Structure 1
Amino acid sequence: MPRGRRIAATAAALVAVFALLSVLWLWRDPMGLVRADFARQRIAAGLSLGQIQAGDHRWVYAERKATRADAPTLVMIHGFTGSKENWYPLAQRLSGDYRLIVPDLPGWGASERKPDADYGFVAQSGRLSAFLSALARDPGSPLVLLGHSMGGGIVALTAADHPQQVDRLGLFDAAGVRFADNGFGTEVLAGQNPFAVHDEASLQRYLDTVFYDAAAKPSIPWPASTAVIGWRRRQAAFEQQVLDRIGRSEERFLPGERAASIGQPTLLLWCRQDAVIDPSAMALYAERIPQVVQVMLDGCGHMSIMERPQEVAAAVRNLIEEGEFR
């Protein structure tokens, strides 16, 4: 056989072996495709993984160190059914000299979950304060706390109740106020979980609810979709427990009430097509925090940090660079 044909045959055989190994890998671990993509995004953002014991839980987080010890530290807190990975597109675009800390909240992602523990706004705010205290940080490094959705309600409480820990604040599509009625809110008040996933149709409904921009909507091909559905089914009881606390208990509007005590420079950012936390919530927060800067983005839904990461990054940089830190 001529040398060229031997090389081509060898290459074809290697491709076939690689394809077979890939199929076997996905068959044994369908979530591997999702984890691999998360790892790709994390590496692209220059983040590495770490963990720390803070308060009563073990936290897992992603971190990118700064070149200066006194550079601002940005801590990013995800929302309901979310994880640290939601912030990776934004982290990749925050190319300034910042230290980035992106944790999984206790109970979520890779962080510790304890049976029968409370994971509502108040309990998580206390844990977040403990996490901020546990971070090794240069005394000259100001702390900027960013929260999305449920995470926005948590960081609002933390900034109000522990002002000495937070220098600046960003609330993105934040929960914690009584916004104008929409389909999502009506279902929550009726005791349902609009984010529940139990089959392909409900997975698509979930994605269609939180994303407006089709170009930014994640694609979850089979067999990863089957694995994601199975995983979300196993989370159903926990999700319902958390939603009962943040959506229907006496603390559901506490972040908005306590926001009147927020004195730090604050960024409020929403997407006009948010079908989860109606954009009317931004004005309600603004009424209580007179020193806010408001940014309304168009053509995006609830996942502003993933649908419009470039614009969100610009708003965050303005928050950090506007005026002097105390």
Structure 2
Amino acid sequence: MKKILLLAIPMVAALAFGIIRGNYAEVGGWIYHQAMATEASLYGFKEHQADIGDMTLSYYRNENPGKPVVVMLHGYSADKTVWLRFARHLTSDYDIIIPDMAGHGESPYSEEWSYGMPAQADRLSRLLKTLDVAAAHVIGNSMGGFLTATFAINYPQNTLSATMIDPAGVMSPEPSMMMKMLAEGRNPFIIHNRKEFDQFYAMTMEQPPIVPDIVLEAVGKKYESRREQLKKIFEDFHSSDYLEERLSELKAPAMLWWGDQDKLLHVSSVGVWQAGVPDLKVHVFEGIGHMPMVEMPGETADMYMAFLSDL
């Protein structure tokens, strides 16, 4: 609490100065960065860099030697910070690694790289080797869920369990709001102004955490500045082969979560995953959107720990 209060003083001063100077988004970005750094520290996470050969990946880790390793994978256009409030509940019993995958967060982007799932799975494999991790429990959201399943199929020897949260990777029987927009030629992730960002942000969660407008302004501006990069990443990972024909190869203990109000990826996809993955444990959250681990971090963390403890 003392750390939070001390942080609040310069935040308030910076906010007032920034508004006077008209640097609303810049101040919002500073506030967001400071808040995430403080939360990570309070929860016991440190930021590290790992050289995996052709790039250096940024990641959080709580350094809990001897404990089982859990790897948490963010979705497209997100970063490692989305996991902090979920991960805080697991720090006593697990060694947690939360990477920024290539092209996201503090990890680098290059037009020359592929951001398809096989390439990202290879990078995750090299990250684990670099960190001397033989096998891990892997949990991922959205694109990260697609990556989780791809990794579990391609690297079964390195996968202790696989948990997919509202994952991409299969064709849903019913189109989501996002899929309808894409069919009309509009990608909601490609942002040109604050109005488009607000429409997009409303699609990501049904029960979002409280975020100050000044921070949302900064996040929106970041999406605008990364528009061309995000187009490239989206094209690459959406051109990856879908997993319907390979789901039966996912042999690790597996769990699937979905928010029934998900506007990005339709909940009807649950049936596709159930039909393909043997012995898949499934939970559908009522009144929750695309990111259950952000919308209800404590409850989902408890469910995840119960799943792991039963393995």
| TM-score, reference length from structure 1 | 0.84
Identity within the alignment, %? 24
Query: What residue is the counterpart of 1:197 in the other structure?
Result: 191
Q: Within 2, Cα distance between the matches of 1:19 and 1:130?
A: 42
Query: What residue is the counterpart of 2:137 in the other structure?
Result: 144
Query: What residue is the counterpart of 2:83 in the other structure?
Result: 87
Question: Structure 1's 18 and 136: CA in aligned 2 closer, same or farther, altered over 3 A?
Answer: closer
Q: Which among 150, 154, 158 is matched to residue 147 of structure 2?
A: 154
Structure 1 residue 45, shift from structure 2 partner: 2.1
Query: What residue is the counterpart of 1:283 in the other structure?
Result: 271
Which one-letter code corresponds to 2:296 in the other structure? R
Q: Which among 255, 261, 268 is matched to residue 249 of structure 2?
A: 261
Residues 206, 290 of structure 2: 8 Å contact kept: yes
Counterparts of residues 194-233 of structure 1 (less than 5 Å): 194-213=188-207, 216-222=208-214, 224-233=215-224
Structure 1 residue 315, shift from structure 2 partner: 2.1
Structure 1 residue 299, shift from structure 2 partner: 1.8
Question: Structure 1's 71 and 20: CA in aligned 2 closer, same or farther, altered over 3 A?
Answer: closer
Residues 270, 295 of structure 1: 8 Å contact kept: yes
SS in structure 2 at match of 1:267: strand
Question: Structure 1's 282 and 225: CA in aligned 2 closer, same or farther, altered over 3 A?
Answer: same
Which consecutive residues of structure 1, in runs of 5 or more, have no partner in the other structure? Answer: 1-15
- Report the aligned-residue RMSD: 2.3
1:309 aligns with 2:297: yes
Q: Which among 111, 121, 132 is matched to residue 125 of structure 1?
A: 121
Q: Which among 228, 237, 250 is matched to residue 237 of structure 1?
A: 228
Query: What residue is the counterpart of 1:98 in the other structure?
Result: 94
Q: Within 1, Cα distance between the matches of 2:251 and 2:104?
A: 29
Query: What residue is the counterpart of 1:5 in the other structure?
Result: none
Q: Within 2, Cα distance between the matches of 1:219 and 1:75?
A: 26
1:173-216: CA deviations, max 9, x gaps?
10000012122112234443212222221221122101101xx3
Q: Within 2, Cα distance between the matches of 1:146 and 1:17?
A: 36
Residues 139, 164 of structure 2: 8 Å contact kept: yes
Q: Within 1, Cα distance between the matches of 2:123 and 2:81?
A: 20
1:111 aligns with 2:110: no
Structure 1 residue 81, shift from structure 2 partner: 1.0
Q: Within 2, Cα distance between the matches of 1:50 and 1:17?
A: 26
Query: What residue is the counterpart of 1:39 in the other structure?
Result: 37
Q: Within 2, Cα distance between the matches of 1:19 and 1:95?
A: 31
Residues 149, 174 of structure 1: 8 Å contact kept: yes
Which one-letter code corresponds to 1:278 in the other structure? H
Query: What residue is the counterpart of 2:3 in the other structure?
Result: none
Q: Which among 56, 59, 64 is matched to residue 57 of structure 2?
A: 59
Q: Within 2, Cα distance between the matches of 1:71 and 1:104?
A: 22
Query: What residue is the counterpart of 2:6 in the other structure?
Result: none
| TM-score, reference length from structure 2 | 0.88
Structure 1 residue 275, shift from structure 2 partner: 1.1
Question: Structure 1's 165 and 19: CA in aligned 2 closer, same or farther, altered over 3 A?
Answer: closer
Residues 46, 62 of structure 2: 8 Å contact kept: yes
Residues 262, 289 of structure 1: 8 Å contact kept: yes
Which one-letter code corresponds to 2:96 in the other structure? L
SS in structure 1 at match of 2:284: strand
Structure 1 residue 48, shift from structure 2 partner: 0.9
Which consecutive residues of structure 2, in runs of 5 or more, have no partner in the other structure? Answer: 1-8
